[in-house]
Amino acid sequence: MSSESLKDTTATPVVGKPPSTVTVTWAGDHRFDGQRKSGGPAIRMDASGQTGPSPVDALLCALAGCTGVDVVDILAKRRTPVQALSIDVEGERFSGVPGRVTQIHLVYRIIGADVERQHAERAIELAVTKYCSVRDSLDPNMPITWTLKLNES
């Protein structure tokens, strides 16, 4: 194939957000510290689970955090602000090597006096299926399910 025909088949880069750049530094044993290349706070990952979440746990936290931001923002735009939000995440793992995540279930626990169930469910659905860039970075065929616990003590 000539270089001319390669130019014809090469896709034009998508213009959007600038790339995310991070640096991950080994901190001994199974520990790694990651932070933006430009500096700022770091996160500790520890495959042994002693000084921080494992890398897979950090991935699950990233998914919950990403969808959580969207849920809070969507409900705030409806003028029904969230008073508290926590998200429990369970990632099923493949028993072989690598022990990849094969499916994820999220439990959203939302507290907000004016938050209506249908609006909270819609916010979660939009976060998980449309707005979360972490979700869209995962295998699109991986099942991700969720449930809502609204205003439970």
pLDDT in tens, 104-115: 999 999 999 999
- Which residues in the chain are classed under CATH 3.30.300.20? 53-150
Local confidence band at 6 (pLDDT 50, 70, 90 cut-offs): very low
- Architecture, CATH, for domain 53-150: 2-Layer Sandwich (3.30)
CA distance 69 to 125: 13
On the question of pLDDT at 11 being above 80, the answer is: no
Using the predicted structure, report yes or no on whether residue 65 has a pLDDT greater than 50.
yes
- Is 15's pLDDT higher than 80? no
Per-residue DSSP letters for 80-121? Answer: ---SEEEEEEEEEE-SSSS--EEEEEEEEEEE-TT--HHHHH
pTM: 0.86
Report the chain's mean pLDDT, rounded to a whole number. Answer: 91
pLDDT higher than threshold 90 for residue 131: yes
User: How far from 39 is each of 32, 42, 134, CA to CA, in Å?
Assistant: 16, 8, 21
> Residues 74-101: pLDDT tens digits?
999 999 999 999 999 999 999 999 999 9
